[in-house]
Chains A and B, each alone.
Chain A
Amino acid sequence: MQIIPILIEGLLLGALYGLAASGLSLVFGVMTIINVAHAEFIMLGAFITFWLWFFLKINPILTIVISMFVVFMFCIFIYRITIRRIIGEMQLVSLILTFAISIFLWNFAQVTFSSTFRSVDYSLGSIGFLDTYFSMNKVVSFIIVSVIIGGLHAFLKFSRIGKAIRAVSQNPDIASISGINIDRIRMFGFGIGGALAGVAGSLIAIQWSIYPLMGQDLILKCFAIVAIGGLGSLPGSFIGGIILGVAENLGTRYLDSTLANIIAPLLLILTFLFWPQGLFGVEERVD
């Protein structure tokens, strides 16, 4: 059976994709903006892990907590100085603004870090299963992703802030008259979205090489995943990520690597055209 290892590889990759896209989905849910700069937060997370490992020799797995916190604070800063001023304007304004933030960030990274490929030299060995060996890094990252997605789900379901976030994404007006400070909740939502991106970046850093343009190469995959799963749905983006991961692995195996890269844009456009709600999307609000 050749197909099983490919599917497992796809699952391991896809879960990471799902985590990378979940922040995008969350931010869309809370404030209906499509954050084009999201993938740049992933890049920042990856570089935080790299520099902490490179200079301070901190175990890359432990840096996840730091990169989560740093990107969270950074996103709150970005929200306070830019995003909050344009909420409620036309979607195009937010699209162009986040696009500009993205351009600024990747070029900033290119200027300060230079555009060389770097990688964190950290290996946990490998694990054998069904006559194939899987990198332990990928397995560990899969476990971490599952824990974080599960934790996030519980957080949104049961905690006070989580409930408020869901209320704001369902109906900001009603949430507001119920005494929820929408601006604060949106700030938290944006920060949590960024923190998820930061974790995804750290996990990417222990598996692949990282470079300032990595966000640009990831952003379309994130969009495709969010489109498949349904904008604003968290389980949707996790499952969408797995679908894309498996599809890409099958594509690389049975077609060629160029065509495998075309899968994400193709899935994105097909979903937009024929199935705009995606898997778990809700009907678009009229407001």
Chain B
Amino acid sequence: MRRNDHSQKMNSPGILGIPHEGVWIYAIAMILVALFIVLPHVTSSYIVSVILTLFVYIGYAVSWNIMSGLTGYVNFGYSLFLGIASYTSVILIIDYKIWWPFGWILGGLSAVTIALALGGIMLRLRGSYFAIGMLALLLGIKLLYTSKYLSPMTRGGYGFAFIEPLSLNAMYYALCFLSLLCIFIAYKVITSTFGAKLIAIREDEEGVGSLGINATGNKIAAFALSAFLGGLISSGHIAFQNYIEPESAFNMHWTIVPIVMVLLGGPGSVWGPVIGAVILTFVEEFLWSHFTQAYMMIYGAVMILLVMLMPGGIIEWLKGRGTLPKIRTI
């Protein structure tokens, strides 16, 4: 099976996982990119903000997938990185008047710092211990941001309103670029030997260790990369929200949403999280405006059904039906 996969990959390297045979996909991609570029000039700001949210969700899902989809270490504390990056970027941009792109990057780097510090400790734990431990850390750090000890910087539990010095359109283009960057990096990771090592960790961690590969080191690298990309996107996301407080910045919602998206699309694949994000952003927009209360409940139900009936997500399902070739690069 593996050898067969390999030869197929050799025959059609393609771009971003799409084989050369699928020329029509390039056409659609071109049209989509052109559409995204002209969109802010032709439509209402409502549409722009929906598409912006779509970019944010694609970014979250793709970067959660880099760590958890590939290694199988479910990160229930993903919002931890998002919250820390949001706070860092907002405080730097508003209080220290740093140019916003630097503020966003520094936000991402602050998440990396935390990920490296925690990763060395947490990633030595086994699968479910790691997941529960991350959940505990998320709660602990959220409480720390609410407490009076950090309030000179965070303004305590009530948070504060702010306006970052950039227009909606600038935010839109920046997040569009960042989400494409996330997809590109995810593609590069998944098709590299680094990605292969991560998948091997998911399949058999002891086996990986016996081959002389440093499993913990690779996990920490994936953890940090996932935190960086998530942090970048989240810095842009908080700029769009114009308000920051611990309860929403560290909300469990920002962990649940990427998990559902990745499960729906296909964990460990390049395009699975993107497909999941596209479908669920529009579903959420519809549910949010029609069933404001019930939509998280529907998310829970969808998640239950996905785990039981379609554990590989849409991508694996299409591969199983033969619609997509069975290669790792998709």
Which residues of A are in contact with B by a Cβ distance under 8 Å? 34, 82, 85-86, 90-93, 95-97, 99-105, 107-108, 110-111, 216, 220, 223-224, 227, 256, 258-259, 261-262, 264-266, 268-269, 272-273, 276
Name the one of A86, A100, A262 contacting B144, with C-beta atoms under 8 angstroms: A262
The answer to whether the Cβ of B114 comes within 8 Å of any Cβ in the partner chain is no
| Cross-chain pairs A/B with CB under 8 angstroms, 17 sampled | A85-B308, A93-B307, A99-B76, A99-B259, A100-B307, A103-B296, A103-B299, A103-B303, A107-B296, A111-B293, A224-B136, A256-B148, A258-B148, A262-B143, A264-B136, A265-B136, A269-B137
Number of interface residues of B (CB under 8 A): 38
Interface majority SS (helix, strand, loop, mixed), chain A? helix
B299 contact set on A, CB distance < 8 A: 103, 107
The answer to whether the Cβ of B129 comes within 8 Å of any Cβ in the partner chain is yes
Which residues of B are in contact with A by a Cβ distance under 8 Å? 72, 74, 76, 121, 124-125, 127-129, 131-133, 135-137, 139-140, 143-144, 146-148, 252, 256, 259, 263, 293-294, 296-297, 299-301, 303-304, 307-308, 311
Q: Which residue of B lies closest to A108 (CB)?
A: B297
Give the A-B pair count, Cβ closer than 8 A.
110
Q: Which 8 A-B pairs have the closest CB atoms?
A: A104-B300, A100-B303, A103-B300, A265-B136, A107-B297, A265-B140, A107-B296, A258-B147
Smallest beta-carbon distance A109→chain B, Å: 9
State in angstroms the CA–CA spacing of A34 and B132 once bound together.
Answer: 9
State in angstroms the CA–CA spacing of A269 and B131 once bound together.
Answer: 11
Name the one of A96, A262, A269 contacting B307, with C-beta atoms under 8 angstroms: A96
**A223 and B136 in contact, given A97-B308, A107-B300 (Cβ under 8 angstroms):** yes
Name the one of B72, B125, B303 contacting A92, with C-beta atoms under 8 angstroms: B72
Are B139 and A272 in contact (CB-based, < 8 A)?
no
Q: Which residue of A lies closest to B308 (CB)?
A: A85
Smallest beta-carbon distance A78→chain B, Å: 10
State in angstroms the CA–CA spacing of A110 and B294 once bound together.
Answer: 9
**A92 and B74 in contact, given A224-B136, A265-B137 (Cβ under 8 angstroms):** yes
Are B148 and A111 in contact (CB-based, < 8 A)?
no
A265 contact set on B, CB distance < 8 A: 136-137, 139-140
B72 contact set on A, CB distance < 8 A: 90, 92
Q: A220-B139, A258-B147 are known; give 18 further A-B pairs, CB within 8 A.
A: A85-B308, A90-B72, A90-B127, A92-B74, A99-B76, A99-B303, A100-B303, A101-B300, A103-B256, A103-B296, A104-B304, A107-B294, A108-B297, A224-B136, A227-B132, A256-B147, A265-B136, A272-B132
State in angstroms the CA–CA spacing of A110 and B299 once bound together.
Answer: 14
Are A104 and B143 in contact (CB-based, < 8 A)?
no
Q: Which residue of B lies closest to A34 (CB)?
A: B128
Name the one of A82, A224, A261, A268 contacting B304, with C-beta atoms under 8 angstroms: A82
State in angstroms the CA–CA spacing of A93 and B146 once bound together.
Answer: 33
**A101 and B304 in contact, given A111-B293, A272-B133 (Cβ under 8 angstroms):** yes
A223 contact set on B, CB distance < 8 A: 132, 135-136
**A111 and B294 in contact, given A34-B128, A103-B256, A103-B299 (Cβ under 8 angstroms):** yes
Are A111 and B129 in contact (CB-based, < 8 A)?
no
Are A268 and B136 in contact (CB-based, < 8 A)?
yes
Q: Which residue of A lies closest to B300 (CB)?
A: A104
Are B131 and A92 in contact (CB-based, < 8 A)?
yes
